[in-house]
Amino acid sequence: MNKIIYNFANRNNNLGTETAFTVLAKANKLAAEGKSIINLGIGQPDFPTPEHIVEAGIKALRDGHHGYTQSTGIPKLREAVSEDIFKRHNQNVSPENILIVPGGKVIIFFAAMLMGEKNKEILYPNPGFPIYESAINYSGAKAVPYELSEKKGFSFSAEDILNKINDKTSLIIINSPANPTGGVVPKIELEKLAKGLEKHPNVILMSDEIYDQFCFGSTPFTSMLSFPNIRDQLIILNGWSKTYAMTGWRLGYGIFPTKLYEIAEKLAVNIHSCVNASAQYAAIEALQGSQECVVEMNNAFKKRAYYMYKSLNDIDGFNCQEPNGAFYCFPNIKVTNKSSTIIQNELLDNLGIATVAGTSFGKYGEGFIRLSCANSSEAIQEAIERIKAVY
Ligand code: PLP
């Protein structure tokens, strides 16, 4: 028999991945072998989806919502998103500019496909969510990192980003509150960025606001929708995964300027047709029902993040800044003289604690590890005890 030669397209060699899923698989394997594992690796709320939202999804199935929906999302859901934005940010966004997609991640891929190609450059945060760099590389564009440094509280300076723009720059990605650092960018920097972008009408900004409702530090969250001067060059990424503990439902949305929306809609038709119908009905209930669950989760993450960062600072070798939002601590482990990957492996193999090496979020993540606060206070306390006993 002939040996098959898989002559696949070269761009596939450029795809990266999300190590959090690899760590999760390894942690699950160790747990199945009987090892006591504390999972501080994966970035998803440890809360179940609130009951009223689950019920709305079940009702939608019982009511016969089994077919395709509009590829852009059911109109009632797009209106609910528009109303939610008005309620929270006092900004008008037309449902015509809102695209419902199967997970916020899809918007990263769409933005990269819309704006990236050979001879273009895309700026992205580093350390940052690894899919940014992966999607940029896949698009053929050059991925240009801007560093989020610990010294600046893992925020960025608008000037830094604006100085990196050249003739080839087509897209800038920002993320606040941020994964993996827990950093939140102050309004003043965002305002400066918006002002500076006025001089670059050929550059699009994608603001990943998926953690917007988990912001509990001294710097309040500001949406890029607050700056009407850049609305025509702004893509927003948001969704239900984190806010309503709905990671497995696969639901997210993007807001696009009209011209880009038309292409994004075609991408949606070509790739996924539409989002699962019952999940969309559940999403309406999430936005229109009680928001008590969101407040509860935010309070829990705040309490755990505070405990985690304080306790990590009592351990030799770990220096942690207080996170401002999202649900992660990102301690500096440089004084251990071990790489992030070594510490990640030591914690999992020797202590049964799943974490993610900082380098999984880009080269500037070396010397850091990410610990998720999305586990019970008891589990976090136990993890801290285990680390304390050894380091
Ligand atoms: N953006 C950031 C910064 C994230 O951390 C994540 C998920 O971890 C996503 C986007 C993707 O979210 P979703 O699960 O809705 O695709």
Asked if residue 370 and residue 260 are part of one domain, the reply reads no
Query: What is the best residue among 126, 174, 241 to mutate for testing ligand 1's pocket, by most ligand atoms within 8 Å of CB?
Result: 241
Please indicate, yes or no, if residue 61 is contained in any of the structural domains: no
| Number of structural domains found in the chain | 2
How far apart CA 274 and CA 251 sit, in angstroms, is 11
Which three-class secondary structure state does DSSP give residue 52? helix
Which domain covers residue 166, as residue numbers?
68-288
CA of 105 to the centre of ligand 1 (A): 5
Query: What is the best residue among 17, 18, 101, 129 to mutate for testing ligand 1's pocket, by most ligand atoms within 8 Å of CB?
Result: 129
Q: What are phi and psi of 382, to 5 degrees?
A: -60, -40
Asked if residue 189 and residue 72 are part of one domain, the reply reads yes
CA of 248 to the centre of ligand 1 (A): 12
Asked if residue 264 and residue 297 are part of one domain, the reply reads no
Bridge partners (DSSP) listed for residue 101: 252
Please indicate, yes or no, if residue 28 is contained in any of the structural domains: yes
Asked if residue 216 and residue 78 are part of one domain, the reply reads yes
Asked if residue 102 and residue 211 are part of one domain, the reply reads yes
Which CATH number fits the domain that encloses residue 348? 3.90.1150.10
State residue 311's pLDDT score.
97
Which three-class secondary structure state does DSSP give residue 346? helix
Which CATH number fits the domain that encloses residue 260? 3.40.640.10
Domain boundary among 232, 253, 288: 288
Asked if residue 103 and residue 216 are part of one domain, the reply reads yes
State residue 43's pLDDT score.
84
Query: What is the best residue among 207, 210, 251, 328 to mutate for testing ligand 1's pocket, by most ligand atoms within 8 Å of CB?
Result: 210
Instruction: Count how many Cα atoms sit within 13 Å of the Cα of residue 81 in the half-sphere of its side chain.
Output: 29
Please indicate, yes or no, if residue 60 is contained in any of the structural domains: no
CA of 135 to the centre of ligand 1 (A): 13
By the 8 A CB rule, do 361 and 370 touch? yes
Asked if residue 327 and residue 229 are part of one domain, the reply reads no
State residue 1's pLDDT score.
77
352: left (phi over 0), alpha (psi -120 to 50) or beta: left
CA of 87 to the centre of ligand 1 (A): 23
Please return the burial class of 231, using the count of CB atoms within 10 Å of its CB with bins 0-12, 13-18 and 19+: middle
Please indicate, yes or no, if residue 121 is contained in any of the structural domains: yes
Residues of the chain with pLDDT under 70: none
Asked if residue 350 and residue 218 are part of one domain, the reply reads no
DSSP 89-129: H-----GGGEEEESSTHHHHHHHHHHH--TT-EEEEEES--
Q: Is the CB of 127 under 6 A from ligand 1?
A: no
Please indicate, yes or no, if residue 137 is contained in any of the structural domains: yes
Residue with the two structure tokens 């891929």: 109
State residue 2's pLDDT score.
86
Please indicate, yes or no, if residue 2 is contained in any of the structural domains: no
In this prediction the pTM is 0.97
Asked if residue 108 and residue 40 are part of one domain, the reply reads no
Measured from the CA of 326, which atom of ligand 1 is nearest? 5
Helices vs. strands in the chain: H and E counts, helices first: 12, 12
Q: What are phi and psi of 371, to 5 degrees?
A: -115, 130
State residue 115's pLDDT score.
98
Domain boundary among 264, 288, 312: 288
Asked if residue 281 and residue 264 are part of one domain, the reply reads yes
Please indicate, yes or no, if residue 59 is contained in any of the structural domains: no
**pLDDT tens for each residue of 131-143:** 999 999 999 999 9
Domain boundary among 288, 318, 350: 288
Asked if residue 283 and residue 302 are part of one domain, the reply reads no
Please indicate, yes or no, if residue 6 is contained in any of the structural domains: no
CA of 177 to the centre of ligand 1 (A): 12
Asked if residue 267 and residue 190 are part of one domain, the reply reads yes
